DNA sequence: ATTGTATGAATGAAGG
DNA sequence: CCTTCATTCATACAAT
């Protein structure tokens, strides 16, 4: 794309203050700010440095995604462990997965020890993927949905997939606005011209900004894919 | 971000065996393993030392990127040279190529030889393709309108950037699994406790195993949380 | 010690 | 939202 033009530093990078505010907002429950929210956030943050709406947008997008994936990873691991244990018990019945594959191992040491972890009951965990069950193209990437471990035929269920989502209630636009307001007062329009991430900043004397009237609140009503909109409220 | 190095022990560093396996996998065509692949790779590699999913993930990410960038640089240089030569010749006729004509300078230097692997994809591309018509939450929508406009459509080469992408077909999970299986017999669970990069290790006698035939029916189709099942009608 | 390089990790930006 | 790419930061290690 951009041909490494020497002009303006291409990528936005949040100043410490901006980052902090963003994080605080996120913690407060904002996950997917809508247009007006983004705009306000942007204009607020723009006080601490150059920033655009899309930066805010992307930030939330990425932050949310990565937070989630982190969680997923964690859960996935736990799950895996649990499954392992379960499977270990089942190994009584399935001593060796796909014995006919084993002659590929020449070395005596390379036996089941090689795969301490997984070995699904009735399916080869060795070359599953595209093999029998046949799915999973490969365009996917890191921990998808909870490391989605293949469930053979046992119930095992994928409780994890959404319990997390269920856990975090939606509480967006409730009080997030007030925090747009608090949190440090903006320093003089410090236009950091450094390539990226001017790590400057002691924070200037606090000063309370005006509250902007909250109109937007959560009427988002995105009857989109997954996010279950607040039932009644 | 803020948390000063959350992970207690420093960075992960692949043991020689791990690295080797990873590289072998990469060579075999794996570039962007999906969740389950990563999972398995991880659990396999974990035999040779501490390793996490994200390590595998990052490794492939970085390796691919750097390989690419290396290539790019090389090609870029070649291109530059050729362009210069061409321009020198053309200078007879065009004292200075107008900037808006620049994208006409592309020299077909990149040869398909560079990408040996790509196999024939007769694979069906069943895309789940989100069920409904236009929805998408408001924020996203807004984004589209808001800064979708800025599409300056840079010219000035980047020829390599995507022609490569085009060239490389997707051939992932075809035969990568076979290597999960082969490659070295695990040494005693060498738990390297050194801060990072236990460069120790004589590697156990490697041996190349043969490939087992994999019926590589890779259909994507993993319907999980959000992706509504393909309409089927 | 200083500088250069390789690479794990992180994250902004898109694409779809 | 999910995936992928490009860039960048940080650090270990090598070469000087």
- Can you read off the two tokens belonging to residue A143? 């921990």
**pLDDT tens, A132-170?**
333 333 334 444 444 444 333 333 333 333 344 443 334
Residue of B36 and A35 predicted with greater confidence: A35
A108 or A55, which is more confident?
A: A55
Q: Quick one: pLDDT at residue B145?
A: 40
Beta carbons of B139 and A3 less than 8 Å apart: no
Range 135-154, chain B: CB under 7 Å to any strand D atom: 140
Nearest Cα of chain A lies from the Cα of B135 at a distance, in angstroms, of 6
pLDDT of residue B15: 95
Residues 6+ apart with CB under 8 A from B173: A129, A130, A136, A137, A138, B30, B34, B37, B216, B218
Scanning every strand, the nucleotide with its C1' closest to A14's CA turns out to be: C12
The predicted pLDDT at position B167 comes to 39
Q: Residue B35 above 70 pLDDT?
A: yes
Which long-range contacts link B184-189 to residues 24+ away (Cβ below 8 Å)? B184/A110, B184/B17, B184/B20, B184/B21, B185/A105, B185/A107, B185/A108, B185/A109, B185/A110, B185/A114, B186/A109, B186/A110, B186/A113, B186/A114, B186/B17, B186/B47, B186/B48, B187/B17, B187/B48, B189/B47
Tokens of A126: 């060795």
User: How far does the CA of B168 sit from the C1' of D11, in Å?
Assistant: 33
CA-to-CA distance for A110 and A95, rounded, in angstroms? 16
For residue A166, the chain B residues in CB contact (below 8 A) are: none
Supply the Cα-derived Rg of chain B in whole angstroms: 23
Q: Tell me which residue has tokens 């902090």.
A: A20
Residues of B in contact with A107 (CB under 8 A): 185, 205, 207
pLDDT tens sequence across B171-189: 333 344 444 444 554 554 4
Minimal Cβ distance to B186: which of A114, A129, A142: A114
Spatial distance from the CA of A67 to the C1' of C12 (Å)? 15
The model's confidence at residue B224, banded by pLDDT at 50, 70 and 90, is: very low
Nucleic chain D: which protein residues 59-78 of B have CB below 7 A from it?
61-62, 64-65, 68-69
Pairwise pLDDT comparison (A106 vs A67), residue with the higher score: A67
pLDDT of A72:
83
* Predicted pLDDT at B24: 94
Per-residue confidence band for A176, with pLDDT thresholds at 50, 70 and 90: low
Amino acid B26: pLDDT: 94
**Mean pLDDT of chain A, nearest integer:** 57
pLDDT at residue B77 tops 60 = yes
For residue A131, the model assigns a pLDDT of 33
pTM: 0.58
Q: Cβ separation of B137 and A222 shorter than 8 Å? A: yes
Pairs across A and B, CB distance < 8 A: 211
Say what percent of chain A tops pLDDT 90. 25
Residues written for chain A: 233
Q: pLDDT at position B92, please?
A: 53
C-alpha span between A228 and B17 (Å, rounded):
46
Q: Is nucleic acid strand C under 7 Å from A66's C-beta?
A: yes
Higher-pLDDT residue of A106, A161: A161
Q: Is the pLDDT of residue B112 over 60?
A: no
Residue closest to A218 by CA, chosen among A25, A29, A64 = A29
Query: Taking the C1' atom of C12, which residue's CA lies nearest?
Result: A11
Q: How far is CA B173 from CA A7, B55, B220, in A?
A: 42, 19, 11
Per the CB < 8 A criterion, the answer to whether A17 and A50 are in contact is no
Residue A117 tokens read as 């972890």
Minimum mean pLDDT among A17-26, A114-123, B44-53, B150-159: which range? A114-123
A115–B174 C-beta distance less than 8 A: no
pLDDT score at B206? 37
For the segment B152-172, what is each residue's pLDDT rounded down to a tens digit? 444 444 444 434 444 333 333
- Percent of chain B scoring above 90 in pLDDT: 21
Q: What is d(CA A121, CA A123) in angstroms, rounded to the nearest whole number?
A: 6
pLDDT of the residue at B83: 76
Residue A106 with chain B: CB contacts under 8 Å: 207, 209
Helix ranges (DSSP H) in A108-175: 160-167
Pairwise CB contact (< 8 Å): A117 & B182: no
pLDDT at position A92 is 57
Q: Using a CB-CB distance cutoff of 8 angstroms, which residues of chain A are in contact with residue B35?
A: 140-145, 147-148
The nucleotide whose C1' lies nearest the CA of B1 is: C10
When mean pLDDT is compared across A8-22, A52-66, A150-164, B133-147, the lowest value belongs to: A150-164
Which nucleotide lies at the shortest CA–C1' distance from A59? C12
Taking CA–CA distances from B171, the nearest residue in chain A reads: A138
pLDDT band at B9 (very low <50, low <70, confident <90, very high): low
Q: Which residue has the tokens 């043991």?
A: B15
Question: Average of pLDDT values for A5-11?
Answer: 60
Closest Cα of chain A to B113: distance in Å?
Answer: 23
Listed by number, the residues of chain B in 104-123 with a beta carbon closer than 8 Å to a beta carbon of chain A are: 123
Q: Note the pLDDT of residue B65.
A: 95
């Amino acid at each position: 794309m951009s041909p490494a033009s020497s002009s303006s530093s291409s990528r936005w990078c949040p100043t410490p203050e901006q980052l902090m505010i963003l994080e605080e907002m996120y913690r407060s429950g904002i996950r997917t700010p809508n247009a007006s929210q983004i705009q306000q956030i942007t204009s607020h943050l723009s006080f601490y440095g150059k920033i655009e709406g899309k930066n805010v947008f992307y930030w939330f997008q990425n932050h949310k995604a990565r937070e989630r994936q982190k969680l997923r990873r964690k859960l996935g691991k736990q799950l895996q462990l649990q499954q392992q244990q379960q499977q270990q018990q089942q190994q009584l019945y399935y001593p060796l997965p796909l014995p006919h594959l084993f002659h590929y191992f020449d070395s005596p040491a390379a036996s089941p020890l090689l795969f301490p972890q997984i070995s699904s009951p009735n399916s080869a965990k060795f070359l599953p993927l595209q093999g029998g069950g046949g799915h999973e193209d490969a365009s996917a990437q890191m921990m998808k949905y909870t490391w989605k471990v293949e469930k053979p035929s046992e119930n095992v269920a994928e409780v994890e997939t959404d319990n997390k989502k269920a856990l975090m209630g939606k509480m967006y636009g409730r009080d997030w606005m007030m925090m747009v307001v608090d949190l440090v007062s903006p320093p003089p329009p410090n236009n950091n011209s450094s390539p990226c991430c001017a790590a400057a900043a002691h924070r200037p004397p606090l000063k309370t900004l005006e509250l902007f009237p909250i109109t937007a609140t959560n009427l988002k009503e995105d009857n989109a894919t997954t996010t279950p909109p607040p039932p009644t409220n």
